[in-house]
């Protein structure tokens, strides 16, 4: 039950994060937004560990896990924050919806979690067809839009790579400890990146941007990452990545309602293809088995009735 509650909360956090990312960069730049968010998240994570008196291991396997998580956060969030400047917030979630497919492929190769089968290949093709639809619509909006899409695809790849690496190491580290340890490696990289590329503190932070940074730091980072790593320890990588199956539509609606982001037929079609591809990829064999069982069962029943008559 605790794992299911954590799973649902991660879905809600992931659905609201793209819009918060968009708002957190307003007037301050994406580098300041991401750096301040991760710094706040790290501080909150360590405070929770201190207050709850949780164990913070520093043995070799734990440090290796922190590095894998930290590099994953830095590359994933860096790519997504940069790309979010050029595309609507909801579309970030749509592209990120490919993470189960990418993660599943990596898990099949590295963790031997599942083998590639015909229904999975069909799901992969349908998912990437949806991405092509999104790309085609973005081409009409100029090169900046395409850069944003490509950056989010790159971020999705790094997220999948980090998830598989953390799962492969399989260190006995709690969610908050893993979050604090991972952010301990992420934050210095972000500070150096921000200092080299920008280095200017904003003179004024708008209320919406400030509140978004606080939300992202406390909820999305400290709590969200901890819940994510908690369920990652207790479920397969492919199953965890299915969270991205449920967030695109929610994120699109939130972006439209609260940020007046346009929704087009192409985006809904692309999203439907990606979500449909994920359903076929993950549940295709089960659905086919039930369909065949129902069909064959009906024929046998009909044949039995005919024989009795």
Half-sphere exposure of 259 (CA within 13 A, CB side): 23
Q: Does residue 287 surpass a pLDDT of 80?
A: no
The 10s digit of each residue's pLDDT in 74-100 is 999 999 999 999 988 988 988 887 887
Q: Does 217 reside within a domain?
A: yes
Residues contacting residue 198 through CB under 8 Å, at least 6 positions apart = 29, 31, 32
How far is residue 100's CA from residue 1's CA, in Å, rounded to a whole number?
Answer: 23
Q: Does 116 reside within a domain?
A: yes
pLDDT at 9: 93
Nearest to 165 by CA among 178, 177, 152: 178
How far is residue 237's CA from residue 250's CA, in Å, rounded to a whole number?
Answer: 22
pLDDT at 154: 95
CB 115 within 8 A of CB 108: yes
* Domain count within the chain: 1
The 10s digit of each residue's pLDDT in 38-83 is 999 999 999 999 999 998 999 999 999 999 999 999 999 999 999 9
Q: Does 304 reside within a domain?
A: no
How far is residue 304's CA from residue 309's CA, in Å, rounded to a whole number?
Answer: 9
Q: Does 297 reside within a domain?
A: no
The 10s digit of each residue's pLDDT in 258-284 is 999 888 888 888 888 888 887 887 777
How far is residue 68's CA from residue 295's CA, in Å, rounded to a whole number?
Answer: 47
Q: What separation in angstroms does the CA of 275 have from each of 125, 189, 240, 241, 269?
A: 12, 34, 15, 13, 10
Within 198-264, where are the H helices?
A: 207-215, 224-234, 237-241, 243-259
Residue 256: both structure tokens together: 């439209």
The 10s digit of each residue's pLDDT in 10-39 is 999 999 999 999 999 999 999 999 999 999
How far is residue 125's CA from residue 280's CA, in Å, rounded to a whole number?
Answer: 10
Q: Does 26 reside within a domain?
A: yes
Q: Does residue 297 surpass a pLDDT of 60?
A: no
101 by DSSP, 3-state: which? helix
- Global pTM? 0.83
The 10s digit of each residue's pLDDT in 121-141 is 888 888 888 878 877 766 666
Q: Does 78 reside within a domain?
A: yes
Domain span at 225: 2-284
Q: Does 293 reside within a domain?
A: no
CB 255 within 8 A of CB 88: yes
Residue 191: both structure tokens together: 């500070």
In percent, the amount of the chain with pLDDT more than 90 equals: 46
| Per-residue confidence band for 170, with pLDDT thresholds at 50, 70 and 90 | confident
| Per-residue confidence band for 172, with pLDDT thresholds at 50, 70 and 90 | confident
Q: What separation in angstroms does the CA of 68 have from each of 14, 25, 96, 182?
A: 21, 26, 20, 7
Q: Does 52 reside within a domain?
A: yes
CA angle 28, 200, 71 (to 5 degrees): 75
């Amino acid at each position: 039950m605790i794992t299911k509650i954590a799973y649902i909360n991660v879905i809600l956090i992931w659905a609201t994060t793209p819009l918060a990312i968009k708002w957190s960069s307003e007037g301050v730049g994406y580098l300041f937004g991401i750096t301040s968010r991760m710094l706040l998240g790290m501080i909150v994570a360590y405070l929770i560990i201190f207050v709850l008196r949780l164990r913070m291991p520093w043995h070799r396997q734990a440090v290796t896990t922190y590095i894998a998580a930290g590099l994953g956060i830095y590359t994933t969030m860096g790519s997504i924050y940069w790309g979010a400047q050029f595309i609507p917030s909801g579309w970030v979630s749509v592209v990120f919806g490919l993470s189960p497919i990418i993660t599943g492929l990596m898990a099949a190769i590295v963790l031997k979690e599942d083998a590639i089968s015909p229904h999975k290949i069909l799901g992969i093709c349908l998912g990437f067809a949806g991405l092509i639809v999104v790309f085609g619509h973005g081409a009409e909006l100029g090169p900046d839009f395409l850069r944003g899409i490509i950056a989010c695809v790159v971020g999705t790849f790094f997220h999948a790579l980090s998830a598989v690496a953390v799962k492969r190491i399989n260190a006995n580290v709690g969610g908050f400890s893993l979050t604090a340890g991972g952010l301990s490696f992420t934050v210095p990289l972000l500070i150096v990146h921000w200092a080299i590329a920008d280095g200017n503190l904003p003179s004024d932070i708008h209320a919406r941007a400030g509140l978004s940074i606080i939300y992202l730091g406390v909820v999305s980072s400290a709590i969200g990452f901890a819940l994510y790593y908690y369920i990652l320890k207790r479920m397969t990588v492919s199953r965890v990545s299915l969270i991205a199956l449920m967030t695109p539509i929610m994120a699109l609606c939130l972006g439209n309602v609260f940020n007046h982001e346009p929704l087009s037929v192409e985006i809904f079609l692309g999203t439907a293809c990606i979500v449909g591809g994920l359903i076929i990829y993950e549940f295709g064999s089960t659905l086919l088995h039930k369909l065949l069982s129902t069909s064959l069962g009906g024929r046998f029943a009909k044949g039995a009735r005919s024989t009795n008559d």
